[in-house]
Structures are given as structure tokens and as C-alpha cells.
């Protein structure tokens, strides 16, 4: 798998070239995504932010090779996506743990499917379980866990086979606000240790700004990416940065962009200018 | 399982009801002087049951063995057919309408045909009972296999799982509750199928005993045979229900 990775570290790891998605139901065609065009560098965490039903999950599923691409190309590690690939890990909105397996077996599920030697991954499984704070829960079944705990297990399952990139489809949207904050902290923590390239789809502005290095703002159907905003906060980050005025400023700027996309709100040039300036001053912080 | 006090209620209450009904039945028969060949009293049925127990057991073991064979065949074939139809859209399009059509016709009416085609030996009875109990297993399992959580199937696809791996590791476990419910229906139908087939062809078995006792007005024997039949049916159903509960417990861990 490493053979496809470009040797130049600055080269794009993910390249989405003029991708469009049109559903043809036979009677009518629905243009879900008009144009998506962006790149993600290796090791970068990019959030795709947009309102519900804007096609951002479809975009992610196309990157995962789980959804066909109508026009355009998606290249990951220099190779076009034509179907699912083991170097790409996916996390879904639903934790989707198998109810008849305990925590450890759920984490090891990909190893079984990939027919890799289980003994080589047991230690890694335990390490991941410890990292997400679930040590002692290895023998528990999913129904014995809370929603947040289940998503923690799903994170471990996505990382167990060491994919080069992680695609996350609103993984925390079904959780309550407090658990969601906890999960964001947990994800930041995991990111610190296992820096991976990531594409994270969300409709939460706060979540996008907190987690990502860059936020791509998507409009409603037929959707396009209207803005690519660099988030300046240095890592390691914690939830506390969300209290800072700068954080709130970026959030309100993103909100105004989304409202624009909806065709209602009005652009606020002042906010825009301030954020632009902060980007220049602070750099990317990486 | 809930607590112990519930057990006395869930088991004790139905038994008490059954005893009460038997007492009521005995009283009605004795008080009105109903002749034995019309409606024998439960006490007399019990006596006949004990007196001709070896004979009854011989008949019951024939019917029971055939019913179990039919049940096993039906669940196995139903399950395999469901798996095949899940993975072959072409075969599904060809056979599914016919399968639904078969559900709608009274299959018991076809019993004599099986005798014509397969003779009067136990093979034809088992085939007929299998035929009767096969369809609920097939349709229910097919529903279960197709209704496996779409996200789970996507998870498998994202891991580049083969169709076979997806079937074994996700679809079959998810279809298990559907399959298990259907096996309970199949257990009942297998016994029904054997009795109907025995009405037509057999020279042994509980169905034969019931039918041959009718013209001789041996109502006591008929009741004793029906009682044995209930035992056979309940044992098969009970075993399947216990397996079903174990399966469900495995599935959810509850």
C-alpha cells in the first residue's frame, strides 16, 4: 500500500477533482453534488461542514469507494478510487457494533474480515481500548454500553487495521451535547498519537472548528464547496479553545457562510476580513 | 428471565387452568351421563392411556421420528434456499413469485399427490411434511437476510469483505431471530404434515391410529392418541423454543 504514497510529503494525499454526483431514478435526475474540488495533504484533518442533506455524506462515501462517482475523479495515495480499499477506514453515523460480539471482538472484527493473524493485533486492540478509556469493558456486549462508549469502540475498530486515512460520517451526531464534547476531546487525544489523514463530515460548526485543520463549507443541493477555511489553533488542542473569542469569531464567520449558501443570511464583510487576517497572522499552527 | 415469583405465575397458572378444565370436563360427562363413545371422561382417557401405553408409544415414535426428520429437512432446505436467493437476484426474480403463490394455496390439499408420486412409504409422508413446513422458514429467513442492517453491510464492503464473508459474518447472524421464529412455525407444521399424510397412507403412526379408530367408535383410543400427539408436538415445539431462546440470548447477550 505504501508504494502508492507520493514521496513528496507536501503532495496531496487525497485529490478530489471536479467530482459531481447525479442520481438517476429513471423518471428524474437529482443533482446531489454539482462540483467538489479539493485536496487533503497527508496527516491533515479536514472537516466538511454543511447543512443536513447537502450531499456531504455522499461525498465522503464516494471517497470511501462505497458510492459511485458520476463525473470527476477521486485519487487517494495517488490511485483513483474505484471501490473500497483496505488503506481507507470508515466510521459511520451509527456505531454499528455487532450485538452478538463483545467489545474486544468488535474491535478485532476488521482483522477477521481481512484474514490477518489475530495474535498480531491483540496488543494493539488492548492499547486502543485503553486509549479511549474502555479498559475493563472488553467483555461487555454493545447493549451494556452507552452511546458514547459504542462510538469509542467504533473508533478503535476503525483504527485497528491501521488505515492511512480515516473517513468519518457525522460519527457523533446521534450523541447528546455533553457526550459529544467528550468524544471530541477523545478524538483530539487519539489524533495526537496516531496522526492520520482524516476527512470528517459534520453539521456542527463548533465540532468542525475544534477538530479540523481546515474546514470545507458545502452549500445545499446541488452542492458545491464555497469556502476552504484554515483553522489556526495549534495542537495539541483541548475543548478549552472553544471559549476563546477567536474561536467564536471563526464560528460566526462559518455560520454566515452557511446561511449565504441557504440564500437567506447576509454576508458580513467585517467578520470575513478579521478571520482572513487571523489566518495570515497565526499561520496554520501545524 | 425475570425473578422467581414470576415463574410460579407463568408456569403455575396455566397448569392450574388445565387441571380446572379437566375437572369441569369430568363433571359435565358424569353429571349428564354422556356415553363413552361420544365423549369419554378424562379419567377414562387417562386409564386407557396407561393400559395401552406400549402400543401408543410405538405409534408415537413412528410419527415423532418422521416429524423430526421433516422438521430438520425443512429448516435446513429453507435456510439454504434463502441464502441462495439472497445472493442470486436472477433466481430470486424467477422463484420468489412462485414461492409467494405457494403460500396462498392450501397445501394440505396436495397431500394425495405426494402419495401418487412417491408411494405409501414414510418417504412420501416426510416429503409432504417437509413441503408444508419449508415455506415459512424460507420466507422468514429470506426477509431476515435481506433486512440485515445496511450500515453493517456497508461496513463489510468498506473492509473489502467478499459476499461469502458478508453472508457468514453479518447477514446470517442478523437473520437469526427471523429464522428462529420460523422454526417454531415449522415445528408445528411438520407434525401437522405427518398426521395428515398418515390419515391417507399409513398402516402405523398416531394419525393412522386416530383414523382407524373412528369407524370402530373407539373414541377412548382416539382421545388417547390425540393426547400422545400433543406430547409429540409439544416436545418438538418445546425443544425448538428452548433453542430459539438460547439463540436470541447469544444474539443480544441479554
Over residues A136-156, the mean pLDDT reads 92
Closest CA to A132 of A93, A182, A181: A182
Query: Which domain does B28 fall in, by range?
Result: 1-33
Yes or no, beta carbons of A114 and B159 under 8 Å apart: yes
Yes or no, beta carbons of B253 and A94 under 8 Å apart: no
* Per-residue pLDDT at A262: 64
Please give the residue of chain A at the shortest CA–CA distance from B250.
Answer: A100
Contact with chain A for residue B161, Cβ under 8 A? yes
- Pick B178 or A1 by higher pLDDT: B178
| pLDDT bracket for residue A4 (50, 70, 90) | very low
Which long-range contacts does B103-111 make (Cβ < 8 Å, 24+ apart)? B103/B135, B103/B139, B107/B131, B107/B132, B107/B135, B108/B132, B108/B192, B108/B196, B111/B196, B111/B197, B111/B200
Quote the percentage of chain A above a pLDDT of 70.
87
Q: Are residues B29 and B70 in the same domain?
A: no
- Pick A268 or B64 by higher pLDDT: B64
Contact with chain B for residue A110, Cβ under 8 A? yes
Of the candidates B152, B165, B250, the beta carbon closest to that of A96 is on B152
Q: Which residues in chain B are closer than 8 Å to A85, comparing Cβ atoms?
A: 160
Enter the CATH code of domain A2-87+163-282. 3.40.50.300
pLDDT digit string, tens, across residues A53-92: 788 899 999 999 999 999 999 999 888 888 899 899 999 9
Yes or no, beta carbons of B158 and A64 under 8 Å apart: yes
Of the candidates B156, B157, B253, the beta carbon closest to that of A141 is on B253
Q: Are residues B107 and B212 in the same domain?
A: yes
Q: Are residues B46 and B28 in the same domain?
A: no
Q: Are residues B9 and B134 in the same domain?
A: no
Q: Are residues B75 and B92 in the same domain?
A: yes
Please give the residue of chain B at the shortest CA–CA distance from A85.
Answer: B160
* Per-residue pLDDT at B99: 87
Q: Are residues B220 and B137 in the same domain?
A: yes
Nearest-angstrom CA–CA distance, B100 and A92: 36
Least reliable range by pLDDT among A27-41, A269-283, B122-136: A269-283
Yes or no, beta carbons of B252 and A66 under 8 Å apart: no
Contact with chain B for residue A82, Cβ under 8 A? no
Nearest CA of chain B to the CA of A82: how many Å?
12
Total domain count, chain B: 2
Count other C-beta atoms under 10 Å from residue A71's C-beta: 12
The answer to whether B174 and B149 are in contact (CB under 8 A) is yes
* Cβ–Cβ pairs < 8 A, chains A and B: 58
Q: Are residues B4 and B44 in the same domain?
A: no
Q: Which residues in chain B are closer than 8 Å to A76, comparing Cβ atoms?
A: none
Q: Which residues in chain B are closer than 8 Å to A100, comparing Cβ atoms?
A: 173, 250-253
Q: Are residues B66 and B25 in the same domain?
A: no
Of the candidates A83, A92, A144, the beta carbon closest to that of B155 is on A92
Low-confidence ranges of chain B (pLDDT < 50): 1-2
Contact with chain B for residue A130, Cβ under 8 A? no
Contact with chain B for residue A173, Cβ under 8 A? no
pTM: 0.79
Contact with chain B for residue A1, Cβ under 8 A? no
Q: Are residues B22 and B107 in the same domain?
A: no
* Per-residue pLDDT at B254: 59
Report ipTM (2 d.p.): 0.81
Q: Are residues B45 and B28 in the same domain?
A: no
The answer to whether A216 and A265 are in contact (CB under 8 A) is no
Helix (H, G, I), strand (E, B) or coil at A199: strand
Question: Which three three-digit cell numbers place residue B105?
Answer: 394455496
* Per-residue pLDDT at B107: 86
Of the candidates A84, A100, A143, the beta carbon closest to that of B157 is on A84
Yes or no, beta carbons of A92 and B251 under 8 Å apart: no
Round the average pLDDT of chain A to a whole number and report it.
84
Over residues A119-135, the mean pLDDT reads 92
| Radius of gyration for the alpha carbons in chain B, expressed in angstroms and rounded | 22
Is the link from the previous residue into A222 a cis peptide, with omega within 30 of 0?
A: yes
Residue ranges of domains in chain A: 2-87+163-282
Contact with chain A for residue B249, Cβ under 8 A? no
* Per-residue pLDDT at A195: 77
Q: Are residues B216 and B130 in the same domain?
A: yes
Contact with chain B for residue A206, Cβ under 8 A? no
Q: Are residues B15 and B46 in the same domain?
A: no
pLDDT digit string, tens, across residues A59-69: 999 999 999 99
Of the candidates B151, B170, B253, the beta carbon closest to that of A94 is on B151
Q: Is B137 exposed, middle or buried (0-12, 13-18, 19+ CB in 10 A)?
A: buried
pLDDT digit string, tens, across residues B131-181: 999 999 999 999 999 888 889 999 999 999 998 999 999 999 999 989 999
Please give the residue of chain B at the shortest CA–CA distance from A103.
Answer: B253
Residue A157, H or E segment: helix A147-159
Yes or no, beta carbons of A109 and B149 under 8 Å apart: no
Amino acid at each position: 500500500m505504501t508504494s502508492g504514497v507520493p514521496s513528496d510529503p507536501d503532495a496531496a494525499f487525497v485529490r478530489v477533482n471536479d467530482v459531481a454526483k447525479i442520481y438517476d431514478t429513471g423518471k428524474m435526475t437529482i443533482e446531489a453534488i454539482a462540483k467538489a474540488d479539493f485536496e487533503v495533504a497527508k496527516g491533515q484533518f479536514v472537516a466538511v461542514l454543511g447543512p443536513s442533506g447537502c450531499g456531504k455524506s455522499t461525498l465522503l462515501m464516494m471517497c470511501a469507494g462505497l458510492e459511485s462517482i458520476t463525473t470527476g475523479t477521486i485519487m487517494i495515495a495517488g490511485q483513483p478510487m474505484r471501490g473500497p480499499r483496505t488503506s481507507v477506514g470508515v466510521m459511520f453515523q451509527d456505531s454499528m457494533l455487532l450485538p452478538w460480539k463483545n467489545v474486544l471482538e468488535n474491535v478485532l472484527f476488521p482483522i477477521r474480515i481481512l484474514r490477518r493473524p489475530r495474535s498480531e493485533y491483540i496488543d494493539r486492540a488492548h492499547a486502543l481500548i485503553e486509549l479511549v478509556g474502555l479498559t475493563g469493558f472488553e467483555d461487555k456486549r454493545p447493549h451494556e454500553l452507552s452511546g458514547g462508549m459504542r462510538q469509542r469502540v467504533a473508533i478503535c475498530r476503525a483504527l485497528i487495521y491501521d488505515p492511512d486515512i480515516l473517513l468519518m460520517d457525522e460519527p457523533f451526531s446521534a450523541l447528546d451535547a455533553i457526550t459529544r464534547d467528550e468524544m471530541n476531546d477523545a478524538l483530539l487525544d487519539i489524533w495526537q498519537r496516531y496522526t492520520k489523514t482524516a476527512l470528517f463530515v459534520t453539521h456542527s460548526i463548533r465540532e468542525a472548528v475544534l477538530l479540523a485543520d481546515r474546514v470545507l463549507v458545502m452549500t445545499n443541493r446541488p452542492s458545491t464547496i464555497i469556502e476552504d477555511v484554515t483553522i489556526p489553533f495549534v495542537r495539541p488542542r483541548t475543548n478549552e479553545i472553544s471559549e476563546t473569542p477567536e474561536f467564536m469569531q471563526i464560528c460566526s464567520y462559518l455560520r454566515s457562510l452557511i446561511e449565504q449558501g441557504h440564500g437567506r443570511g447576509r454576508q458580513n464583510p467585517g467578520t470575513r476580513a478579521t478571520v482572513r487576517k487571523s489566518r495570515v497572522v497565526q499561520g496554520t499552527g501545524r | 428471565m425475570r425473578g422467581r415469583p414470576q415463574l410460579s405465575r407463568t408456569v403455575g397458572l396455566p397448569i392450574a387452568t388445565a387441571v380446572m378444565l379437566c375437572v369441569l370436563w369430568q363433571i359435565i360427562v358424569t353429571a349428564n351421563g354422556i356415553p363413552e363413545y361420544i365423549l369419554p371422561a378424562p379419567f377414562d382417557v387417562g386409564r386407557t392411556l396407561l393400559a395401552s401405553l406400549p402400543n401408543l408409544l410405538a405409534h408415537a415414535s413412528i410419527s415423532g421420528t418422521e416429524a423430526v426428520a421433516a422438521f430438520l429437512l425443512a429448516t435446513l432446505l429453507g435456510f439454504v434456499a434463502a441464502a441462495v436467493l439472497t445472493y442470486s437476484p436472477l433466481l430470486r426474480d424467477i422463484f420468489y413469485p412462485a414461492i409467494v403463490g405457494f403460500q396462498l394455496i392450501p397445501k394440505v390439499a396436495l397431500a394425495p399427490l405426494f402419495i401418487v408420486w412417491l408411494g405409501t412409504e414414510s418417504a412420501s409422508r416426510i416429503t409432504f411434511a417437509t413441503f408444508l413446513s419449508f415455506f415459512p422458514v424460507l420466507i422468514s429467513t429470506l426477509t431476515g437476510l435481506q433486512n440485515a442492517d445496511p450500515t453493517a453491510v456497508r461496513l463489510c464492503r468498506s473492509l473489502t469483505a467478499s459476499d461469502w464473508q458478508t453472508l457468514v459474518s453479518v447477514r446470517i447472524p442478523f437473520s437469526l431471530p427471523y429464522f428462529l421464529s420460523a422454526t417454531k412455525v415449522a415445528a408445528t407444521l411438520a407434525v401437522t404434515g405427518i398426521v395428515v399424510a398418515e390419515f391417507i397412507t399409513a398402516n402405523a403412526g398416531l394419525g393412522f391410529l386416530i383414523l382407524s379408530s373412528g369407524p370402530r367408535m373407539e373414541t377412548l383410543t382416539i382421545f388417547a392418541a390425540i393426547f400422545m400427539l400433543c406430547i409429540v408436538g409439544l416436545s418438538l415445539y418445546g425443544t425448538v423454543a428452548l433453542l430459539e431462546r438460547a439463540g436470541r440470548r447469544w444474539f443480544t447477550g441479554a
